Amino acid sequence: MTVSYKPCVDRMVYRTYKAMRMKKTDEGGIKLADLSSNYFVMVTLGTVVGVAGAFTGLGGGFIMVPLLLFFGFTAQKSVGTSFLAILVISISALVAHNKLANIDYRAGILLGVGGIIGAQVGARLVEYVPTDSFRKIFAFVLVGLAAYLFLKK
């Protein structure tokens, strides 16, 4: 027996599209209050990021931060909000990958220790970067990673 998720996905995409047709801010994003209070849009975006992050292992921040910037969040608020969402998504992905025996615990813990140090430095550095500059830096990093992955044999 096969199960088709297409009708459900189609409804989610349509509802998300309708919900995203909200008032725009002067900067081109959607008003924070409108977006934050629209639970359906937030859960749908979280679902998309969760699938993409668990599938690629890149971490949802590569997807979520640009989405939040698009919706009018500042760079600092985008990064902080993204980390909270990624924490929840990561726990779920960790459980799933553990069931599949796809985890090297020693490497993960060692990387995590280094990540704790780097996260403290990075969180303080982003406070000094204007949102417009952050967008350009983030785009440059994404394009560089994409080019590397595309050209790598």
Amino acid at 117: I
Burial of 90 (0-12, 13-18, 19+ CB in 10 A): middle
| Contact in structure between 127 and 80 (CB atoms under 8 Å) | no
CA distances for 68 relative to 51, 102, 117, angstroms: 17, 30, 25
Q: Report the predicted TM-score, pTM, of the whole model to 2 decimal places.
A: 0.60
| Contact in structure between 37 and 19 (CB atoms under 8 Å) | no
Among 10-19, 35-44, 117-126, top mean pLDDT goes to 117-126
pLDDT over threshold 60, residue 23 = no
Burial of 63 (0-12, 13-18, 19+ CB in 10 A): buried
Within 10 angstroms of residue 14's Cβ, the number of other Cβ atoms is 10
Hey, where are the domains in the chain? 6-151
Label residue 146 by pLDDT band (50, 70, 90). Answer: confident
Q: Give per-residue pLDDT as tens, 43-81.
A: 887 787 777 766 766 666 777 888 888 888 888 898 888
- pLDDT score at 1: 52
Between 11-15, 39-43, 101-105, 148-152, the lowest mean confidence (pLDDT) is in 11-15
Q: Give per-residue pLDDT as tens, 75-129.
A: 889 888 888 888 888 888 899 989 999 999 999 899 888 888 888 888 898 889 8
Tokens of 76: 């600092």
